[in-house]
């Protein structure tokens, strides 16, 4: 099984819309947190040998690893965290960005998380960590920095 997340939707916009609809099926944040944790459990296994310092995302309270790989004109991402809620946040970001062209990634800032109130519902450190993960994804796309 590949550790990279395959796209479930045709575009980033479609992925964002689907995530929004799923998240807001729940009326309160405790239920939404449970949904996010379940998303994290659905991530493909991240290889232990990839859990290295160079793949760590700086600025995260928890340990978060991201790996990108170019597949033709698109980037695919793998990710993991040592915290359940953060794994879910990783899963949300990868569901939006993995399997997209660099141009589509760069044209889709992660402002949807703030717009939904998710950043405000998280602790300050977790909110900063999500921003750091989104920035790392944007950096991969900007530099075309996927290693084989």
Task: List per-residue pLDDT tens for the chain, 148 residues long.
Answer: 899 999 999 999 999 999 999 999 999 999 999 999 999 999 999 999 999 999 999 987 789 999 999 988 899 999 999 999 999 999 999 999 999 999 999 999 989 988 998 877 776 566 678 889 999 999 999 886 444 4
Say which residues have a Cβ less than 8 Å from residue 14's Cβ, sequence separation at least 6.
none
Q: How many domains does the chain have?
A: 1
pTM: 0.91
Q: Is 60 a catalytic residue?
A: yes
Name the residue range of residue 79's domain.
12-143
What are the helix (H) ranges across 24-110?
A: 29-41, 84-97, 102-106
**Residue 32 in contact with residue 38, Cβ under 8 Å?**
no
Asked, for residue 5, whether it belongs to a domain, the answer is no
> Given 19, 39, 60, 134, which residue is catalytic?
60
Asked, for residue 1, whether it belongs to a domain, the answer is no
Tokens matching residue 87: 């794994």
Asked, for residue 2, whether it belongs to a domain, the answer is no
């Amino acid at each position: 099984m590949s550790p990279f997340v395959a796209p479930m939707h045709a575009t980033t916009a479609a992925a964002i819309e689907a995530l929004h609809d799923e998240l807001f099926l729940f009326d309160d944040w405790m239920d939404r947190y449970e949904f996010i944790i379940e998303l994290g459990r659905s991530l493909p296994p991240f290889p232990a040998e990839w859990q290295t310092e160079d793949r760590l995302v700086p600025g995260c309270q928890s340990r978060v690893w991201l790996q990108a790989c170019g597949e033709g004109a698109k980037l695919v991402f793998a990710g993991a965290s040592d915290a359940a809620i953060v794994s879910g946040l990783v899963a949300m970001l990868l569901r939006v960005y993995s399997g997209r062209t660099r141009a589509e990634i760069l044209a889709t800032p992660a402002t949807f998380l703030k717009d939904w109130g998710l950043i405000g519902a998280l602790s300050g450190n977790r909110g900063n960590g999500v921003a750091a993960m989104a920035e790392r994804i944007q950096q991969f796309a900007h530099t075309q920095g996927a290693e084989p």
